[in-house]
């Protein structure tokens, strides 16, 4: 029966790839034997006439510390919800032993032109690849080699209000307004507080875990160090001025061009109404062509150009084990949030100003929070994030430029989803 369920699930996945809109599928099953892998290869070949590439991902771990951490993560997952901890532990250890009895690593005898594989040993300490070729496969491998689940916070914020923004003008590398400096100062204070609170929570969690496991506290705490905190800004004036409020003896502040605002070309500094009045053809072309519309003039970009720029930023954020704050601009922040929150094309939103978003990777998903600056108290108020992000964010006020498609292109739990463009 289990074998039938596995093949039925594989058929559903193949239907999605063959007849649906899918371009990459993940088949998570007990593919731990040579016979099972051969069966999958044959089945996929028959259904797709050999046109669909297969990439096996094998994770091998013989590090006891990593194994114990993984056991703890598994016991806190949905499989053991509301199950007694000791009962859950014995059940999971029993399942591990059963897998060990039948487990067969991918062998050289399986190496044919039909398959590709990657072996990740001890969570990427060592990587073995075979026959990996093609754009998507290489992006998957790149992601797996960078991805980690280290406890960390990723903060995302628009740069403080610039003079151009205050006048509803596109782009324009203008300085921050007085109100913007108020937000930037408050954001620096708030992030400093959150940095300390996050470390305190980590210490408390380790103490509780050590007590539950009967582990001596001294060795655990002696090796614990507060994570570094990176602040990355764009090279636009408003972002650099926002980042300047962070103490560079505490935060690693860097500016990078990849985070720059979309370049509006010859429309830099214009308002939407001015474009509509003076350049009606371009205004309509923007609406018609959506994310593929490239603004005219020297350096003009499209939404897809921004997505190309954000890819290496995403990979680096996935690779890092430190906390980070990204200070950028509306479209870039929208792209990053769409990626980390796995938003689809039904989500069309504009990232609000004066708001800090916090994203934390978890083994079974992503936790996120939003804090909005209240100038009357010169502090931040936590927003209700139990609903869709559209409750926190604001509807788009610009022409329908296809940024709902932008969200779908960028969104997804894996970097290859970024590569559909």
**Tell me, what CATH number does 216's domain have?**
3.40.50.1240
Q: Please indicate whether residue 393 or residue 1 has the higher confidence score (pLDDT).
A: 1
Domain assignment present for 230:
yes
CA distance 169 to 271: 5
How would residue 313 be classed by pLDDT, with cut points 50, 70 and 90? Answer: very high
How many C-beta atoms lie closer than 10 Å to residue 62's C-beta? 8
Domain assignment present for 99:
no
Express each pLDDT in 380-407 by its tens digit: 999 987 655 655 555 444 443 333 333 3
134 and 276 both lie in a single domain:
no
Give the residues across from 327 on adjacent strands: 157, 233
132 and 184 both lie in a single domain:
no
Element (H, E) at 219: helix 217-222
Which of 90, 125, 146 is the last residue in one of the domains? 146
Helix (H, G, I), strand (E, B) or coil at 417: helix
Express each pLDDT in 340-361 by its tens digit: 988 764 446 789 999 999 999 8
Average the pLDDT over 15-34 and give the result.
89
116 and 202 both lie in a single domain:
no
Range of the domain at 161: 154-420
Average the pLDDT over 299-304 and give the result.
92
Express each pLDDT in 149-189 by its tens digit: 788 999 999 999 999 999 999 998 999 999 999 999 999 99
CA distance 285 to 412: 28
Give the pLDDT of residue 373: 98
Average the pLDDT over 264-272 and give the result.
95
Overall number of domains in the chain: 2
374 and 288 both lie in a single domain:
yes
The residues that are catalytic are 28, 61, 261, 329
Highest mean predicted confidence (pLDDT) among 235-244, 332-341, 362-371:
235-244
CA distance 333 to 157: 7
Give the pLDDT of residue 265: 96
142 and 253 both lie in a single domain:
no
Give the pLDDT of residue 147: 83
> Nearest to residue 405, comparing CAs of 344, 339, 351?
344
Express each pLDDT in 211-259 by its tens digit: 777 777 777 677 778 889 999 999 999 999 999 999 999 999 999 999 9
How would residue 112 be classed by pLDDT, with cut points 50, 70 and 90? Answer: confident
Q: Are 253 and 233 a contacting pair, CB within 8 Å?
A: yes
Strands 54-60 and 115-121, by their bridges, are parallel
158 and 132 both lie in a single domain:
no
Query: Measuring CA to CA, how many Å separate 190 from each of 177, 194, 251, 281, 285?
Result: 20, 6, 13, 45, 42
How would residue 419 be classed by pLDDT, with cut points 50, 70 and 90? Answer: very low
Express each pLDDT in 34-64 by its tens digit: 999 999 999 999 999 988 989 999 999 988 8
232 and 350 both lie in a single domain:
yes
CA distance 35 to 41: 10
Average the pLDDT over 25-37 and give the result.
90
How would residue 72 be classed by pLDDT, with cut points 50, 70 and 90? Answer: confident
231 and 137 both lie in a single domain:
no
Domain assignment present for 45:
yes
Give the pLDDT of residue 38: 93
**Tell me, what CATH number does 33's domain have?**
3.40.50.300
Which of 113, 146, 179 is the last residue in one of the domains? 146
Domain assignment present for 358:
yes
Give the pLDDT of residue 226: 85
275 and 360 both lie in a single domain:
yes
Give the pLDDT of residue 228: 92
Check whether 408 has a pLDDT greater than 80: no
190 and 114 both lie in a single domain:
no
Query: Measuring CA to CA, how many Å separate 155 from each of 39, 84, 199, 201, 236?
Result: 44, 35, 15, 17, 19
pTM, whole model, 2 decimals?
Answer: 0.83
Domain assignment present for 84:
no
Give the pLDDT of residue 386: 63
Check whether 278 has a pLDDT greater than 90: yes
37 and 137 both lie in a single domain:
yes
């Amino acid at each position: 029966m289990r074998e039938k369920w596995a093949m039925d699930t594989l058929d559903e996945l193949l239907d999605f790839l063959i007849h649906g809109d899918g371009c990459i599928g993940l088949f998570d099953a007990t593919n731990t034997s040579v016979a099972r892998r051969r069966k999958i290869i044959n089945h996929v070949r028959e259904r797709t006439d050999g046109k669909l590439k297969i990439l096996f991902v094998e994770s091998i771990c013989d590090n006891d510390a990593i194994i114990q951490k993984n056991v703890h993560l598994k016991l806190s997952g949905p499989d053991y919800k509301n199950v007694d901890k000791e009962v859950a532990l014995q059940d999971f250890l029993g399942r591990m032993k059963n897998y060990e009895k039948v487990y067969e690593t991918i062998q050289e005898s399986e190496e044919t032109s039909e398959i590709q594989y990657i072996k990740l040993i001890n969570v990427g300490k060592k990587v073995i690849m075979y026959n990996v070729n093609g754009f998507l496969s290489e992006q998957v491998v790149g992601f797996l080699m960078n991805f980690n689940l280290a406890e960390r916070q990723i903060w995302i914020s628009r740069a403080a209000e610039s003079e151009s923004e205050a006048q509803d003008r596109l782009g324009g590398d203008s300085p921050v307004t007085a109100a913007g400096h108020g937000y930037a100062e408050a954001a620096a204070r708030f992030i400093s507080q959150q940095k300390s609170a996050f470390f305190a929570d980590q210490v408390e969690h380790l103490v509780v875990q050590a007590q539950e496991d009967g582990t001596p506290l001294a060795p655990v705490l002696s090796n614990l160090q507060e994570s570094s905190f990176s602040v990355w800004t764009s090279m636009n004036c408003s972002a650099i001025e926002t980042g300047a409020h962070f103490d560079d003896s505490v935060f690693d502040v860097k500016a990078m061009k990849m985070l720059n605002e979309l370049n509006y070309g010859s429309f830099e500094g214009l308002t939407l109404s001015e474009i509509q009045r003076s350049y009606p053809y371009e205004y309509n072309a923007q609406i018609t062509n959506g994310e593929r519309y490239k603004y005219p003039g020297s350096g003009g970009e499209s939404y897809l150009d921004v997505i190309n720029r954000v890819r290496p930023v995403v990979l680096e954020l996935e690779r890092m084990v430190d906390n980070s704050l990204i200070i950028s601009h509306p479209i870039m922040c929208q792209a990053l949030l769409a990626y980390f929150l796995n938003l689809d094309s039904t989500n069309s939103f504009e990232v609000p100003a004066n708001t800090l978003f916090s994203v934390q990777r978890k083994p079974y998903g992503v936790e996120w929070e939003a804090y909005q600056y209240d100038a009357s108290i010169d502090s931040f108020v936590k927003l209700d994030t139990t609903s869709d992000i559209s409750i926190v964010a604001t509807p788009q006020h610009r022409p329908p430029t296809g940024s709902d498609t932008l969200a779908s292109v960028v969104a997804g739990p894996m970097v290859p989803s970024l590569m559909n463009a």
